[in-house]
Amino acid sequence: MIYKCKNCGGDMVFEPSIGKMKCPFCDSTECEEVSTGSEIKDGDVATEETAQELGYSAAGNLLCPNCGCEIELGKFTSALRCPACDSNIIVDSRMKGEYKPEFMTPFKINEKSAKEMIKKKFDSLRFAPRDLVSEARLKKIQGWYMPTWFYDMDTTLDYYATGIQEKKETKGNTEYTYIDSFDVNRVMDAKFNRLPVDAADALPDEMMDLLAPFDTKESMPYDSRYMSGFYSEQYNQSADQLRPRAESQVENFGRSMCHDEAQSGSHGRYNRTENENLKVQYNDVSAHYGLMPVWKYDYTYKDQPYPFYINGQTGKIVGTAPVDPKRVWTFAAIVTLVAIAIGVGLSFMLDFNFLLPVVVGLIIGLIVGFTNMHPAAGKVTVNSATYVAPGDKKVKVSTDVYRGRETKTRQLNNN
Ligand SMILES: [Zn+2]
Ligand SMILES: [Zn+2]
């Protein structure tokens, strides 16, 4: 299906800044649907006539409802732009039945703001290639509705660890370290709410963790009008197939929740915990299918892809900017020379060996060079509190059993 402007016949797109469809040509917000007629399911056999009637060519390719050209659809593609006429096409047959999203979060950040955010974030990067934020390169930015599974998991966490408390004491010339150990057990019920796992191969797994959280309270029931102007895919993997990734999040969050809980026991805080062991019992699990807004900017540098992603709801940017080694090492060389010049100057004034500042300067230069060669991709900003509300956890068992004391001694040199 495509959406046409009632006023001028132009191709309507969803405009995040007004939360409505808008014609980019005449600014009208009135539209009409033009069906692709694609009522056949993928894989159905159709004769040449019925296929054409239904919006597919005899070869099984989608026919653009606007210009009629044949479009070879990707295996999972559900929304795209016609490469010939730039119409925004929504493949209805791929948004039906089990593939109909339960909800979606419409884009809040439009293309212009997404580009500005990337510019702002990476313009200040001293060592990035100069065209990283160029207008020409940024044209490649695309809005994607990422198919995402959200898991609600009602769990019981059973956690064991050895809690260690350390005390130091000095008597005369001897330092005593008392190491008390405890068997720590915590059992708690915890309800994880809307744990996201991306279901598109187009988005690397770890990126979802970096892009999260998405506020699902702002989600809407699925509506194809939000899709126009964006790309989308059906889920590439089922909720059952991706469940292990949700479970590994539960284990990580669960361990840190129990670890925190261990600090509030009858024997007070522990300096550290060892031999942590967590068993998770899944009492009830349900998965919900949603589409999340992500801007995707594919930048290529020296044949290496550097994908950047922006959470289309919150504006959080993730991705690693490439560095131009020439720019890094030129800068490192300048730092080195300045350090050496100052050091050697001092060596003559203060009368020490001038080789010392030369060595120190080279070391500083190497450190500056290597630390700038490897910038970071972004930070994970979610924690267990993002998914487990305070009222959704309940501690059922909290025991700390004293195991005994180990004493270490150390002789001190009292000068
Ligand atoms: Zn128009
Ligand atoms: Zn077309």
State whether 310 and 351 are in the same domain: no
Tell me: do 285 and 305 sit in the same domain.
yes
**What is residue 306's predicted lDDT score, i.e. its pLDDT?**
87
**Taking the model in full, what pTM does it have?**
0.83
Asked whether residue 126 is domain-assigned, the answer is no
* Residue, of 103 and 55, whose pLDDT is higher: 103
For residue 109, is it within any domain? no
Q: Mind listing the pLDDT tens digit for each residue in 36-95?
A: 654 444 444 444 555 555 577 777 788 888 888 999 888 999 999 999 998 999 998 888
Domain housing 52: 2-93
Cα 63 to ligand 2 centroid, rounded to whole Å: 8
User: pLDDT digits over 137-150, tens only?
Assistant: 888 899 999 999 99
Mean pLDDT confidence for 131-139: 86
How many separate domains does the chain show?
Answer: 3
How many angstroms does the Cα of residue 17 sit away from the middle of ligand 1? 18
Residue 29: both structure tokens together: 């917000």
* Least confident span in 20-24, 39-43, 389-393: 39-43
Going by their DSSP bridges, the two strands 77-81 and 88-90 should be labelled as: antiparallel
My answer on whether 304 and 406 are in the same domain is yes
Residue 387, pLDDT > 70, answer yes
The residue with greater pLDDT, 415 or 397, is: 397
The number of the ligand nearest the C-alpha atom of 21 reads 1
The mean per-residue pLDDT over the stretch 318-327 comes to 84
Q: Tell me what pLDDT residue 36 has.
A: 60
Asked, for residue 364, whether it belongs to a domain, the answer is yes
| Domain shared by 46 and 169, yes or no | no
Does residue 35 sit within a domain?
yes
Same domain, residue pair 193 and 238: yes
Q: What is the pLDDT of residue 45?
A: 46
Degrees to nearest 5, angle at CA 117 with 111 and 119: 105
**Would you state the pLDDT for residue 52?**
54
Cβ burial of 140 (10 Å; 0-12, 13-18, 19+) is: exposed
Whether 107 is in a domain gets the answer: no
pLDDT tier at 368 (50, 70, 90 boundaries)?
A: confident
Is 256 found in the same domain as 163? yes
Q: In what helix (H) or strand (E) does residue 2 lie, and over which residues does it extend?
A: strand 2-5
The answer to whether residues 269 and 300 belong to one domain is yes
Which residues keep their CB under 5 angstroms from ion ligand 1?
5, 7-8, 10, 23, 25-26, 28
Centre of ligand 1 to C-alpha 7, Å, is 5
Say whether pLDDT at 177 is over 50: yes
Residue 246 has pLDDT above 60, yes or no: yes
**For all residues of the chain together, what is the average pLDDT?**
88
| 284 domain-assigned | yes
Same domain, 23 and 40: yes
Quick one: which ligand is closest to 32's CA? 1
The band of 187, judged by pLDDT with boundaries at 50, 70 and 90, is very high
Mean pLDDT across the stretch 135-162?
94
Quick one: pLDDT at residue 155?
98
- Residue corresponding to tokens 């203060």: 350
Alpha-carbon span 269 to 405, nearest angstrom:
16
CB-based contact 109:317 (threshold 8 Å): no
| Token pair of 263 as six digits | 């600090």
Please tell me whether residue 353 adopts helix, strand or coil conformation.
coil
Mean pLDDT, to the nearest integer, of 126-153? 89
What span, in angstroms and rounded, lies between the C-alpha atoms of 78 and 94?
6
The predicted model gives 103-111 an average pLDDT of 95
* pLDDT on residue 231: 95
Cβ–Cβ under 8 Å, residues 13 and 229: yes
Q: Residue 101: inside a domain, yes or no?
A: no
pLDDT over 90 for what percent of the chain? 55
- Residue 111 Cα, ligand 1 centroid: separation in angstroms? 19
> Is 127 contained in some domain?
no
Residues 32-51 as b or e (16 or more Cβ within 10 Å = b)? ebbebbbebeeeeebeeeeb
pLDDT for residue 26: 92
In this structure, are 308 and 279 located in the same domain? yes
Residue 361 near residue 332 (C-beta atoms within 8 A): no
One domain for residues 249 and 389: yes
Q: Do 274 and 346 fall into the same domain?
A: no
Q: Give the range among 41-45, 156-160, 178-182, 224-228 with minimum mean pLDDT.
A: 41-45
Considering the domain architecture, whether residues 312 and 336 belong to the same structural domain is answered as no
- The rounded Å distance from CA 137 to ligand 2 centre is 24
What separation in Å is there between the alpha carbon of 231 and the centre of ligand 1? 21
Q: What is the Å distance from ligand 2's center to 82 Cα? A: 5
Counting residues of the chain whose pLDDT is more than 70, the rounded percentage is 94
For the segment 297-315, the average pLDDT, to the nearest whole number, is: 91
